Chain A
Amino acid sequence: MPKAPAGTLYRGREGMWSWVAHRVTGVLIFFFLFAHVLDTALVRVSPDSYNRVIDTYKTPFVNLMEVGLVGAVLYHALNGVRVMLIDFWSKGVRYQREMTWAILTVFVLVMAPGAYFMTKHTLEAIFGSAS
């Protein structure tokens, strides 16, 4: 890759890192989608084989990875909106940095309750109040 000229405002700052994160989350989601279509296809094999595979999603460790997956999708979705605003909104480029912090704020506000409800059963199983 060619070296960026010195003094660029973009390299290494919010703009670059949000782009890196967009790529990384995009690839993660792509590979999960591959696995997810295969596991869902088991409904055509038998209810039992589908249920057995879906049961692995309910184990504590995979449940935690699920929070990561939902986080990746949510970030990719929010940053995608930011990218579209940069492309189509006349002031999008000027406010790209502010929009990065705005979507991160929304991300935290949505993920906090989201992660709680996603892992509620796992937390109760580990800490002993599950029925």
Chain B
Amino acid sequence: MTTSSLGTVTEGSIAQPDQHDNLVIEAPRNRRKRPSGNRSKTNFEMYAWIFMRMSGLLLFVLVLWHLLIMTVLDGGVQKVNFAFVAGRWSSPFWRTWDLAQLWLAQLHGTNGLRVIINDYAERDGTRFWLKMLLYMSSFLVLLLGTLVIFTFDPNLT
């Protein structure tokens, strides 16, 4: 038995303390520092995970029903035109439906792409700018879509 900075090591084992004096193995009870530092002290990732499942469940109904009406029933997409949209958006029910669909789908998709960017973009700068582009475009899509639903004018010429 010899004693070194590593503590007591049985001779003949793989570790050769005399040759590895600079090797530091932290005590098992010491928590490793989080790779992303202090930024991830909130439970953002857990809430994002829950949001994906909650919004996914709602979107299952909202989007599949939307696709059934718009692309399958009554001649499919052939019937869709300005008058058809005006007819649907005369009802607050369908406006609310479409607004919920817009926000849930856009946020669900934005978080999905955020995860994909984090997975595949390895350089810090690439990851940062791709996500900035993603958040900017999402913001614009949500703003534009919301404005269109709230300011729709069936008598526009």
Q: Evaluate contact between B105 and A33: CB separation under 8 angstroms.
A: yes
8 pairs of A and B residues whose beta carbons are closest in the complex: A47-B82, A30-B109, A80-B56, A37-B145, A117-B72, A121-B78, A26-B112, A41-B148
Q: Evaluate contact between A57 and B137: CB separation under 8 angstroms.
A: no
State the main secondary structure of chain A at its contact with B.
Answer: helix
Q: Evaluate contact between B63 and A120: CB separation under 8 angstroms.
A: no
Q: Evaluate contact between B151 and A44: CB separation under 8 angstroms.
A: yes
Question: B97 to chain A: closest CB distance in Å?
Answer: 14
User: Taking CB as reference atom, which chain B residue is nearest A34?
Assistant: B141
A50 near B: Cβ within 8 Å?
Answer: yes
B60 near A: Cβ within 8 Å?
Answer: yes
Q: Which of A33-49 contact B (CB under 8 A)?
A: 33-34, 37-38, 40-41, 43-44, 46-48
B80 near A: Cβ within 8 Å?
Answer: yes
Q: Evaluate contact between A40 and B157: CB separation under 8 angstroms.
A: no
Contact with A along B81-108 (1 / 0, CB 8 A): 1110100000000000000001001100
Contact with B along A54-88 (1 / 0, CB 8 A): 10011000010010001001100100110110010
A15 near B: Cβ within 8 Å?
Answer: no
Q: How far is the CA of A47 from the CA of B145 in the complex (A)?
A: 17
Q: Evaluate contact between A29 and B109: CB separation under 8 angstroms.
A: yes
Q: How far is the CA of A87 from the CA of B75 in the complex (A)?
A: 39
Q: Evaluate contact between B63 and A41: CB separation under 8 angstroms.
A: no
User: Taking CB as reference atom, which chain A residue is nearest B112?
Assistant: A26
Q: List B contacts of A81 (CB < 8 A).
A: 60
Known interface pairs A44-B156, A70-B67, A81-B60; A33-B106 also in contact (CB < 8 Å): yes
Q: How far is the CA of A121 from the CA of B79 in the complex (A)?
A: 11
Q: How far is the CA of A28 from the CA of B123 in the complex (A)?
A: 24
A27 near B: Cβ within 8 Å?
Answer: yes
Q: How far is the CA of A23 from the CA of B83 in the complex (A)?
A: 36
Q: How far is the CA of A125 from the CA of B56 in the complex (A)?
A: 37
Q: Evaluate contact between B76 and A117: CB separation under 8 angstroms.
A: yes
Q: Evaluate contact between B152 and A37: CB separation under 8 angstroms.
A: no
Question: B46 to chain A: closest CB distance in Å?
Answer: 12
Q: Which of B57-75 contact A (CB under 8 A)?
A: 57, 59-60, 63-64, 67, 71-73, 75
Known interface pairs A27-B116, A29-B109, A37-B102; A80-B73 also in contact (CB < 8 Å): no
B20 near A: Cβ within 8 Å?
Answer: no
Q: How far is the CA of A23 from the CA of B113 in the complex (A)?
A: 9
User: Taking CB as reference atom, which chain B residue is nearest A81?
Assistant: B60
Q: How far is the CA of A128 from the CA of B146 in the complex (A)?
A: 42
